[in-house]
Chain A
Amino acid sequence: MRPKYLVGILCIASVGLVASIAAQAQTSSNSATPASHPPASQQSPTALLPPKPQAAKSEAPKNSPSAAASTTSNAPAGSATVTNAAAQTPPTLGLGADDGGRMADPELANQAGFPHDLYRWVLPVDNLERPPAKIGLGRALFFDRRLSADEKESCSTCHDPEKGFTDQLPTSMGIHNQFGKRNAPTIINATFNILQFWDGREPTLEDQAKRPIQNPIEMGMPDEKTVVDKLKAAPEYQKAFMEVFGHAPNYDDMTRAIAAYERTQVAFDSPFDKFMEGDDKALTDQQKRGWSIFNGKGRCMSCHGVNPVQPMFSDNRFHNIGVSAHNKDFVNLARQGLKIVEEGGSAEQIDKLAIQTDLSELGRFLVTKEPHDIGAFRTMGLRNLLVTEPYFHDGSQATLWDTIDHYNKGGVQNPYLDGGIVPLGLSEQQIDDLVAFLKSLTSPRYADAAEHEFAAQLARSKTDRPQRDVDAATGQKGRNDPNLSGPFGDIGPDQDQMKEDPALIGGN
């Protein structure tokens, strides 16, 4: 794991560790601190989890981390009531056949590459329990079109399970046939994203679910109350919410249920995961070459990092890779953006800017207002790419060959281009190998659809390559600036070929 990400995980882990240690230190007193998770937004004072229907006090095992975490989960945030944590049976956090039915699809938990330890840390403290009833409620809400203003869009409209939980459109379409500015990311493995959305403007799945429902272009509901009123008007939801949460429907609980369902959509069952588990025959020779390029000359690993502890193919950071610089007058956009966001923005305002305006191209900058985030977007994972096309935050690239051509030529030059984006000098064979490797990241449930898509993209790659620029990729061409007597191209050292230290060659 690269040092910087380790620090990030260490910080999150250490805060959780602090919380669990504190919980153990206080058995009978009220642990009122909403300790385990930094952002305050998900600590809803109104969400009181009901006590388990058990008469007898049972001793909570002190040593298991799940017990420690559960004692904090059963303590309501900010509540003054004394809760004896030991009185309630802690829900297990383990996944698998003996999960006690905690996951709606237990077979998902038996995946080759599933990161059990990491899964524990990504669950927010007020939504740790995932009984089948909650997941069922969440699934119902996920597919329910009544949550939109014209009753035609649901979460699943843009996050369609059959389409890898995306809509396979460049940018998503919402109510009244309006198009937004961003490509719909997949729900699969989204629970492992440290921040949600392309620009990381919401930290958890619960918070993410709130945004599209109220976005005027997406699902178009005017406010939370309208949504809750609709839920209250449906007797099946009245019943389900009462059963799961112990009270009438409310907005935060709705998002908790949706998030609980989304957390069941994980995929670590691809041929690559089996290969990592030790099955040498899971990848073809071409895919193995692609894996070698991924780690080496392709430089993919520097942002799309993967290892057995953190098999996410993402560093969870934000990089300007030059996609937003394709067609826009980028520097002027940045100046405009500086002016607007200087006046401060609420979550709703930032959400609107992100989806509806040209400023959407500024990405993470809209959230942090820091200049090095201009045009920066989250590193997305690479699983199931062949069912989540088209690619990048604006869905501008239709095939995997286009995306690799983009990286191969060193992205599109702009003042904020991430320093890790350099021309790669990959040959055609190496690009084919790399795509073959990406294909090996497909889950079995999407294998057929992926084969179709791969064949289509492969055929297209022979004839239609709009992003390809061999001169730039091989360092023959620099920037397209007529004022500079170029070329000032560059190319990183070819690890396969390098025999002499460049530093010793100079000065003859």
Chain B
Amino acid sequence: MGTTLAAAFLASLVECVEALTVVLAVGSVRGWPGALAGAATALGVLAAIVAAVGPALTRIPLHMVQLVVGAMILLFGMRWLRKAILRAAGLIALHDEAAAFAKETAVLRGARVARGWDRLAFAAAFNITMLEGTEVVFIVIALGAGGRELMATASLGAIAALLAIVALGFALHRPLARVPENTLKFVVGVLLSAFGTFWVGEGAGIAWPGDDLAIPALMAAYLAIALCMAPVCRRVARAVPLATEEDKTDALV
């Protein structure tokens, strides 16, 4: 239960930080009414989607939910973990909220300022909140796949992350560049990969040694692999001549 809460909180925190960066950029350049209205509308749409989809999930047989959601969370979590390893190895660039904020404000400054209702501000804030919010919704559904109690716990973690980021945004009025986003993604990648493996196993009828205790064991195993692979990849990349940035970018697409 505590692990689900922590996983939902940390994963949602990362997504909320990314959304906050853009909403802050929109608000500071184009004005706050459009930015806040866009973000609030997106949150309303997301809440409506959760209200519609959440109860439907409880009617699907549990092992089927565990299998499908487990597979999705594995794809999602292992993608994060793979990127986190490559970032830790210095093979792909770290995510930089300050740079993202500067880029977004430059784009918004270049756009024409309309009189009255600022549709651009609304749309930009709505888009980013919907995009990152969709990821949060998916994370909550994935982590809460084990039943209603877990779903409530995962939702609580996500709501706590949202409130924490909104409070920090109001207090600081600048992007949260000091949040160790890449470290968080590393941790969340480990957590999601472990949960995904566990749920797929449960859905497939596999008997885990130690039952639920297999989850922390899986986390430890994924963490050990990730920590070992980052320096190994760094060494391998150094030993390989003629590596170009374009090659690396192409490989990510």
Genuine A/B complex: no
The interface of chain B, by Cβ under 8 A from chain A, is none
The interface of chain A, by Cβ under 8 A from chain B, is none
